[in-house]
Structure 1
Amino acid sequence: MKKIYLIIFSIALLSCKSKKAVIIPENINSKYNQEYINSNASIFGKLTTDNYSELVSKIENSLNIKIDKSRKIYLNFQQKGKNCIRAGQNSSKIDFSKTLEISKRITSKYNTQRILSYHKNSFFYNQLSSKKIWILDSKDFLNNTVFDLKENCEAFLIIKPNGEFYKFYGEDHFSIVENLLKNENWDFLKNK
């Protein structure tokens, strides 16, 4: 009888998934406040044909993926940053399902290739590494070259086939993403 209880107990222990706690340093701003708002940044520009091809090739190589150059690209990136609203959540409730759901809906609607990536120093490494859809920036290309500002723990990049791009550092960004993807003409960004 003791053996049966021991076997059941062992199976129960092995089948339980242990969620590793997210440990956030005390100096991280996890509130939506003026400091967080001031930390958001955006960059708009246009790459030459050669620079566009080189960037896409380096992203493909770094993430070991294939990019469709005939479509817009939406690249969401999770990194370590000084401002991180998600870090203020209870570690057992940190969930990326909303990010997945909204990004999938928007990118599908506007025929955009969605790429979700993270760096090994992200506060949420354990949550992201357990999901196949999230791709580790194992060669540090995105972390060191594309997303070089470290004020926020989340950023995105949209690149159009003509080389126009928009990069944003900040977590609350899906209304910006949808506005960019639905508009072919980004002249409205030139006045910002």
Structure 2
Amino acid sequence: MLLNLRRAIIVSLIFFVLLGLAYPLLVTGIGQAFLGDKANGSLTEHGSTLIGQEWSGPQWFHGRADGFDPTATGGSNLGPRSKELLGTYKERIAALEKQGTTPTQDLVSASGSGVDPDISPDAAYAQAATVAKARGLSVGQVRALIASHVSGPQFGFLGAPHINVLQLNEALAELT
């Protein structure tokens, strides 16, 4: 019986060292070596490029119409015939038109996660005139800035072109 107990303790210690120490350290090391930016949360001075932030005022580009509450991630489960969803969309469209922005799907609808950091190039270009006016820039300058921040589909074929709103706003702050 003591022999079996000793074997069990030795096997437990070996697996503790391998799976509890060596493996996590190896995976962390690989993550830091090859994907350090993502492994550390892709943090910048103003937040994470992986999580959408809320921007207030017409001088900034705005992300999807989520409210960016990371504790409330997930869809609303409102269907396409929902009167509540239609009312929400109408409110968002009115607010965008009031500030002089042409509503696009990205700016009116919410993402599935509620914290999507990206918008389509169309959504950014729709905000160009509003941002340019608020910052005293030419629309051409703002459109050129947008064009320089368009990222293509992942691996060249997965998804659609997109723009990270945080990175675009940080570049906008440097421009002015």
Band of TM-score, shorter chain: under 0.3
Q: Which of the pair has more CA radius of gyration?
A: 2
Structure whose residues are more often helix by fraction: 2
| Length-normalised TM-score, structure 1 | 0.22
Higher RCO, Cα 8 Å, sep 6+: 1
Structure whose residues are more often strand by fraction: 1
